[in-house]
Amino acid sequence: MTTDQPTDLSGTAGGLLAERPGKIVAVHLTYHSRADERGRRPAHPSYFLKPSSSLAATDRTVERPAGTELLAFEGEIALVLGRTARRVSPAEAWDHVAWVTAANDLGLYDLRTADKGSNLRSKGGDGFTPLGPRLLDARALDPSALRVRTWVDGELRQEDTTAGLLFALPLLVADLSQHLTLEPGDVILTGTPTGSSVVVPGEVVEVEVDAPEAQGTLSTGRLTTTVTQGDVPFDPALGAVPAVDDTQRAEAWGVRSEGPAGTDHDGAPPAVVVGMDPDLRTRLHRAPVAALSAQLRSRGLDDVTVDGVVPLHPGQKLVGTARTLRFVPNRPDLFRAHGGGYNAQKRVFDAVGPDEVIVIEARGEAGSGTLGDILAIRARERGAAGIVTDGGVRDVTAVTEVGIPVYCAGAHPAVLGRKHVPWEGDVTVACGGTTVQPGDVLVGDADGVLVIPPDLVEEVVDAALAKEDEDAWVAEQVAAGHPVEGLFPPTGAWREKYDAWRAAR
């Protein structure tokens, strides 16, 4: 390998590199954005090895094996060693790098549990390390001013620069060289920024590395890989087979962790909770929101209505416990970090349980949708009791047809990212001017939506139903021609008559 200029090469990785590398070393977390997504910030770089046979894709395709679902892309900057490096300093390290190119560090999360941290099965499959399509001369590049971008079916999914690295590229080379000898042709995959997510058969992933600040912009061109579907399943008689859970799904889709820092498997959606007591649910369905509101007001709770929302199904009753979701105002950098992949919005809709109401804090901003028909269907299929959002709903006709009770601030055709970033779930939120905590009881009808503290709900619903009985009796008396004085509410003789009627029931 003696070229001084960016080299156009196509075909296999063996065509890009003169010889198959002796080793491929991959780095775990290196970008600030990815570390924030994972919820942990390593003090030092850590590594794993990929087999050189993972370069063996001959036609720029990668197979998702039969029986798997979580094949994820990771656009990366790849370094190709040109000189032997052993115990070199960071100041010397870049002189040992010959070429820079684009890489896609593909991984199959279905096999991570079986790997127990080695990444051999999950990252070592044939074609799981495409490189190219061009090599850039490292001597012409500033290692602190490189950019990596990834597209899926033409949509930009990842973009970051080496200015956003936790560990500079020369430091990675120097650190590795104090542990092992780096040889000419060895490849170092330098980690991926936020935005990595799952791809499915038929989708096309493109990765490009360039130096946007260099004179006469230098670029690898786009490394293109098409995902295909395999038809040969793994044989359980031979060894471990694919297995997925919510943790692996969350990390594969690209979740910002809400778990403790330093854990290996964080960001899983919360467990589904047991549904509401059936008797309580029946009583709440019988109690009008207006009656419940009056009882709460008499107990000093006067700011528990979700204002500014209207039902898509005025004839349906909404009863359930709160599952909360919070959006923050859109900011492009935050949306890139938190809006794509398996974000907080998708996690909450995937985790909602029977008798739960998804309550969305959208700050009363109705200038974009906060959900559409796909998520409404997912909530319905999970057994959710309904959805309340103080933002907009897109695909409103389709959402209405789904049939699940939905309260919103109105219809809007724009997607979520126009106004919002999905930030976090299962936290205290402010929806329609009232505070809602996970586990609060929500009741809605044509009059609106009410939030009831769990410790008051039995007392409040029984009092509301008793008042409904009284009002129904009073209405019968008024309909019979009696004046409302002394009857509404009943006092004196009318109170005695009512108490006697109630005791006789």
Give the model's pLDDT for residue 262.
Answer: 31
- Does residue 1 belong to any structural domain of this protein? no
First to last CA, the chain: 96
- Helix and strand numbers (H, E) in the chain are 15, 26
- Does residue 370 belong to any structural domain of this protein? yes
Taking every pair of Cα atoms in the chain, the longest distance, rounded to a whole number of angstroms, is: 107
Number of domains in the chain: 3
446 and 469 fall within a common domain: no
Q: Which run of H or of E encompasses 62?
A: strand 61-66
- pLDDT band at residue 446, thresholds of 50, 70 and 90? very high
- Does residue 81 belong to any structural domain of this protein? yes
- Does residue 410 belong to any structural domain of this protein? yes
The tokens describing 480, both together, are 């019979």
Give the model's pLDDT for residue 58.
Answer: 47
165 and 305 fall within a common domain: no
484 and 420 fall within a common domain: no
Give the model's pLDDT for residue 240.
Answer: 86
Give the model's pLDDT for residue 56.
Answer: 62
CA dist 317 and 315 (Å) reads: 7
Residue 243 has pLDDT above 50, yes or no: yes
Task: Note the pLDDT tens digit of each residue in 55-67.
Answer: 965 458 999 999 9
428 and 472 fall within a common domain: no
3 state DSSP class of 282: helix
Q: Give the list of residues 6+ apart from residue 280 with CB closer than 8 angstroms, or none.
A: 457, 458, 461
- Does residue 149 belong to any structural domain of this protein? yes
CA dist 166 and 151 (Å) reads: 23
Residues listed for the chain: 505
204 and 313 fall within a common domain: no
- pLDDT band at residue 157, thresholds of 50, 70 and 90? very high
Query: Domain of 499?
Result: 465-504
The DSSP output letter for 416 is: G
Do 416 and 343 form a contact (C-beta atoms < 8 A)?
Answer: no
Residue 413 has pLDDT above 90, yes or no: yes
Do 24 and 187 form a contact (C-beta atoms < 8 A)?
Answer: yes
CB neighbourhood size of 412 (10 A): 20
Give the model's pLDDT for residue 324.
Answer: 96
- Does residue 266 belong to any structural domain of this protein? no
Task: Note the pLDDT tens digit of each residue in 334-352.
Answer: 998 888 877 899 989 988 8
More confident site: 17 or 70: 70
CA dist 127 and 58 (Å) reads: 8
Dihedral, 35, 38, 44, 50 alpha carbons, nearest 10: -110
Do 148 and 208 form a contact (C-beta atoms < 8 A)?
Answer: yes
Residue 428 has pLDDT above 80, yes or no: yes
213 and 293 fall within a common domain: no
Q: How far lies 178's CA from each of 143, 175, 348, in Å?
A: 20, 5, 45
Dihedral class, residue 370 (left if φ above 0, else alpha if ψ from -120 to 50, else beta) = alpha
3 state DSSP class of 54: helix
Give the model's pLDDT for residue 271.
Answer: 32
CA-wise closest residue to 108 among 143, 73, 141, 81: 73
Q: How far lies 364's CA from each of 171, 406, 434, in Å?
A: 48, 15, 11
CB neighbourhood size of 493 (10 A): 10
336 and 480 fall within a common domain: no
- Does residue 314 belong to any structural domain of this protein? yes
- Does residue 333 belong to any structural domain of this protein? yes
For the CA atoms of the chain, what is the radius of gyration? Answer: 30
298 and 421 fall within a common domain: yes
3 state DSSP class of 103: strand
The rounded Cα 298 to chain-centroid distance in angstroms is: 41
CA-wise closest residue to 145 among 62, 54, 213, 224: 213
CA dist 181 and 160 (Å) reads: 29
CA-wise closest residue to 187 among 349, 49, 64: 49
The tokens describing 451, both together, are 């939030």
For residues 175-204, average pLDDT: 95
CA dist 345 and 391 (Å) reads: 14
Question: Which of 55-69, 88-102, 212-226 has the least mean pLDDT?
Answer: 55-69
CA-wise closest residue to 408 among 461, 452, 457, 357: 357
CATH number of the structural domain spanning residue 164: 3.90.850.10
Give the model's pLDDT for residue 264.
Answer: 37
446 and 474 fall within a common domain: no
138 and 157 fall within a common domain: yes
CATH number of the structural domain spanning residue 380: 3.50.30.40
Three-state secondary structure string covering 329-346? ECCHHHHHHHCCCCCHHH
For residues 309-338, average pLDDT: 93
Do 310 and 408 form a contact (C-beta atoms < 8 A)?
Answer: yes
Residue 115 has pLDDT above 90, yes or no: no
CA dist 260 and 280 (Å) reads: 36
309 and 409 fall within a common domain: yes
CA dist 369 and 389 (Å) reads: 10
More confident site: 400 or 276: 400
- pLDDT band at residue 505, thresholds of 50, 70 and 90? confident
Do 375 and 389 form a contact (C-beta atoms < 8 A)?
Answer: no
**The last residue of a domain, from among 440, 458, 476:** 458
For residues 185-214, average pLDDT: 94
420 and 366 fall within a common domain: yes
Give the model's pLDDT for residue 253.
Answer: 84
Residue 132 burial by Cβ neighbours in a 10 Å radius (0-12, 13-18, 19+)? buried
Query: What is the average pLDDT value for the chain, to the nearest integer?
Result: 88
- pLDDT band at residue 236, thresholds of 50, 70 and 90? confident
**The last residue of a domain, from among 187, 218, 253:** 253
**The last residue of a domain, from among 253, 287, 317:** 253
CB neighbourhood size of 168 (10 A): 18
Give the model's pLDDT for residue 341.
Answer: 79
